[in-house]
Structure 1
Amino acid sequence: MCGRYALALRPSEVRQQLEQSQMPVEEAPNDDDVRQSYNFAPGYHGLVYRAEGSGHNEQKEHEHDNEGNLEKESTTSTKYKLQSMQWGLVPFWTKRNPDYGSKMKTINCRDDSLFEDRGMWTTMKKQKRCIIVAQGFYEWLKKNNGKEKIPHFTKRKDGQLMCFAGLWDRVQFEDSNEPLYTYTIITTDSNKQLHFLHDRMPVILDNGSEAIRTWLDPTRTEWSQNLQSLLKPYEGELECYPVSKDVGKVGNNSPSFLIPIDSAENKNNIANFFGYQRKLAKKAGTQDIDKTERDVEKSTSDNEHVKVEHDANETRDTTDSVEGTEDNAPLPVLDKSPTMVEKVQQGVKREADDSPSPEDEPQAKRNRTASPQKHLSPVKMPSRKQGTRSATSNGSAAKTPVKSDGNARITSFFSSK
């Protein structure tokens, strides 16, 4: 679960707040190079925090020990940067830009899909770990048997930025001269506080913690129990409350989306809300909320209601008729045509978890595309004709389970347009 979040801060503001939390930033994008939105959707370019030297291309010139790990350097030599990447991971071996529906199914990665040393995440989890920066995330509470969805916003109670554990990759398509950097957000079981809302939540690591340093350590090039143990429900204090249903439409953007629905109805309640938030921030010695409060003031209309703006050149069309996604967020579609809606639905439903990456296969078999490489899975998976449960989805099990060896090819996972 994490299909929509908020990040309306400029890279320079994020950099300042991270450095206040003992998270150094050697390099950051220009303020105009990254999307700033209170309604951040898949496909947007967000801010990713990672260590320099992580990733296969950057590591290949380093010396390795006998176990395949990079020889340890002093902690002080590790440099970190903020980088603009697109939400929705595209593996490095993909030859053509996948359709939007295909990208939708890699916005999340389940923590339990990382246990085994196989599958599409194998390379990324070993060498391309990152942190996705956010102010908080949205989830939709289903009511009346799913007929009604009420958006809720969740953030840290101390006002600090949220640091989601994630994976990233770099791909260059055959018809492009520019590389594309993309990312996915790792999810785990919900903690007790959020279980009423959804059974999954993003993995949140404490800012400036040893857990973040371990997760980003570029010298750790093999997956281990130590890394897996970091992927667990958040134990800190969170705030979660219902917000405006306007956040459901992609392209809608308003600071009021961060304000409880009961407080957003008039200006006096908004002022009280920010007053309380300032007290919490001051007590915790962390960031204040001046940026959001200023945005609210700018967008307040004459009748004292906060206006909802619409991002230019972006459709608000969404679909709720997609099963098998990690979250309950309405999925964006590029247009209202049945064909496009069907593409989004089909892309999300396609099974992906057990597709072997090129590095999992012998070189002689890598060039063969006619016969799938067979993998035995300890978990019984439903056939493709039934509803599927994948590394990126939390859909219900099929009504009639059928044994499957999990041998879907990555060529079918990321089909070309």
Structure 2
Amino acid sequence: MCGRYAMALRPSQVRQILQNDYDLQVDDAPADEGDGAPRQSYNFAPGYNGVVYRADVGERGAGPAHPFSQNEPQEESSTSSPPPPPPPPPQQQQQQEAPSSTPYKLQSMKWGLIPFWTKSSPSYPSTLKTINCRDDSLAQPGGMWASMKSKKRCLVTAQGFYEWLQKGKEKIPHYIKRKDGKLMLLAGLWDCATLPSPHHPDQQEGEEAHKVWSYTIITTSSNPQLKFLHDRMPVILDPGSPEMKTWLDPKRCEWSQDLQRVLKPYSGVLEVYPVSKEVGKVGNNDPVFIVPVASKENKGNIANFFFANAAAKNKKQPPPLKGEEEGEAEVEKPSGEKEIKSMEAVKKEGDQGGVEFEPPLTTPQKRGIKREAYTTETITDEEPPRKKLQEDTTTGKKWESPVKPTSRPKISATSNHTSGRSPAKKKGKVAPAGAGTQKITKFFGNSA
């Protein structure tokens, strides 16, 4: 279920949060950088080194506190003294309280538990099977988790986790975090295995071997808030709660009903929202992965482009000019200064004593010059054509003749019946009657 989560904080930051905000004891923490340092990623995947909080009880896990070991040789005393009392029964040893000074620490571990009995480095697919542990499997006796659930319990730190909503063939990633924005503490188990060195795979046990610390996250049934996403969710424990103290108590080295009751759905309020689909690809890492898709902070939200352009346009608009507001005018005082007054006040002052004022300032509107469309229709409103005086040189008689209008006559685009002219006639020559109306087949007959 929980196959990806977000953890982009450094170990030093996690330590500060646990100590200052959660009032938890942190006696040691890994370095922020260097070999084996935890990974900081907004897309934390299996195989990465994460930050784990646990009781520092050694690699064998928690156990009963013994006043002394039965296998230790006792020193002989020269004086006669009564023999030491026998050790208490095993049941009393388990109930005996551990020292109150048990240290707690942050540790870098690999996500994907490797059991301590493993003798060779497991493949990546096999470690994927142990990134989660079901709570109902811990309720059964025995199994691979038997030794770890009794003595090796921890908390996995995370900012939030991802879950994918199945819609047909599409998977929509969702990010889940605490409503208050605080760091999440997920219940987990850890183990330590001694594996061959990667440089010497054929080495014998104990020769140049290295220890691999690893962890798993425990899952339980989803709460009502996450039922629409998945039927499982990680066990989330509130910092400082009785459940958290019970889970980390190193004195509890046997599985009990109290520990089993800790593993339940989260009763607090969570915040759930869809995020970028880019988080689905392992290796991608971007702070936008924990930002809602519909948020203005998400650079991939297309709505931000429209809001940004609108805001830019509003900023570019110049402020209104003085007196541009409706009903105001700029009035010049006798001293030469100018002030803005309402038109009503200016009119009243003008009626009383005649105040000189300038009209409201308005920005002149520039209009484009329209180009008049050409038309062949006769305009009836035009001035009638002037008459021209003509004279006959032989008789000496004079008469007036109207001058033809200069406007172009209407010419049909398909025929020239009204003009009596051929479109190809030369200037100064008049075409005979009927020219231009002959069929084109007659023209080819004459040419023949």
TM-score by length of 1: 0.61
Shift in Å, 1:215 = 0.3
Report what 2:239 is aligned to: 207
Give CA deviations for 1:159-201 in whole Å, capped at 9, x if unaligned: 1100000000000024452100000000000000000000000
Structure 2 residue aligned with 1:244, among 260, 268, 276? 276
Report what 2:224 is aligned to: 192
Shift in Å, 1:97 = 0.6
Secondary structure of 2:126's aligned partner: helix
Shift in Å, 1:136 = 0.2
> Map of 1:79-94 to 2, 5 A cutoff?
79-94=103-118
Report what 1:31 is aligned to: 32
Report the AA paired with residue 286 of structure 2: S
| Counterpart check, 1:156 vs 2:178 | yes
CA distance in 2 between partners of 1:177 and 1:2 (Å) = 31
Give CA deviations for 1:40-70 in whole Å, capped at 9, x if unaligned: 0000000000011165267487458622626
Report what 1:10 is aligned to: 10
Give CA deviations for 1:196-230 in whole Å, capped at 9, x if unaligned: 00000000000122211110111100000000000
Would the aligned equivalents of 1:54 and 1:218 in 2 still touch at CA under 8 Å? no
Report what 2:187 is aligned to: 165
Structure 2 residue aligned with 1:142, among 140, 162, 166? 166
CA distance in 1 between partners of 2:66 and 2:57 (Å) = 9
CA distance in 1 between partners of 2:194 and 2:247 (Å) = 26
Report the AA paired with residue 291 of structure 2: I
> Map of 1:250-399 to 2, 5 A cutoff?
250-263=282-295
Would the aligned equivalents of 2:114 and 2:214 in 1 still touch at CA under 8 Å? yes
CA distance in 2 between partners of 1:102 and 1:264 (Å) = 41
Report what 1:51 is aligned to: 55
Report what 1:180 is aligned to: 212
Shift in Å, 1:71 = 2.4
Structure 1 residue aligned with 2:98, among 70, 73, 80? 73
TM-score by length of 2: 0.57
Shift in Å, 1:34 = 1.1
CA distance in 2 between partners of 1:194 and 1:65 (Å) = 47
Identity %: 61
CA distance in 2 between partners of 1:171 and 1:55 (Å) = 9
The structure with more helix, counted as a fraction of residues = 1
CA distance in 2 between partners of 1:197 and 1:110 (Å) = 18
Shift in Å, 1:28 = 0.2
CA distance in 1 between partners of 2:300 and 2:228 (Å) = 30
Report the AA paired with residue 111 of structure 1: D
Would the aligned equivalents of 1:49 and 1:130 in 2 still touch at CA under 8 Å? yes
CA distance in 1 between partners of 2:296 and 2:132 (Å) = 30
CA distance in 2 between partners of 1:269 and 1:82 (Å) = 38
Would the aligned equivalents of 1:152 and 1:241 in 2 still touch at CA under 8 Å? yes
| Counterpart check, 1:103 vs 2:127 | yes
Aligned in 2, Cα 1:60/1:177: closer, same or farther, shift over 3 Å? farther
CA distance in 2 between partners of 1:263 and 1:45 (Å) = 31
- For structure 2, the 5+ residue unaligned runs are 68-87, 197-202, 305-448
CA distance in 2 between partners of 1:246 and 1:268 (Å) = 11
Q: How many residues align?
A: 268
Would the aligned equivalents of 1:12 and 1:28 in 2 still touch at CA under 8 Å? yes
Would the aligned equivalents of 2:173 and 2:279 in 1 still touch at CA under 8 Å? yes
> Map of 1:216-231 to 2, 5 A cutoff?
216-231=248-263
- For structure 1, the 5+ residue unaligned runs are 273-417
CA distance in 2 between partners of 1:266 and 1:163 (Å) = 27
Would the aligned equivalents of 2:62 and 2:151 in 1 still touch at CA under 8 Å? no
Secondary structure of 2:187's aligned partner: strand
Would the aligned equivalents of 1:191 and 1:233 in 2 still touch at CA under 8 Å? yes
Would the aligned equivalents of 2:291 and 2:297 in 1 still touch at CA under 8 Å? no
Give CA deviations for 1:209-256 in whole Å, capped at 9, x if unaligned: 221111011110000000000000000010000000000001100000
Would the aligned equivalents of 1:140 and 1:150 in 2 still touch at CA under 8 Å? yes
CA distance in 2 between partners of 1:226 and 1:79 (Å) = 23
Would the aligned equivalents of 1:5 and 1:39 in 2 still touch at CA under 8 Å? yes
Report what 1:281 is aligned to: none
Report what 1:40 is aligned to: 44
Aligned in 2, Cα 1:266/1:35: closer, same or farther, shift over 3 Å? closer
Report what 2:150 is aligned to: 126
CA distance in 2 between partners of 1:159 and 1:78 (Å) = 30
Would the aligned equivalents of 2:114 and 2:193 in 1 still touch at CA under 8 Å? yes
CA distance in 2 between partners of 1:159 and 1:57 (Å) = 32
Superposition RMSD in Å: 2.2
CA distance in 2 between partners of 1:213 and 1:126 (Å) = 15
Secondary structure of 1:172's aligned partner: strand
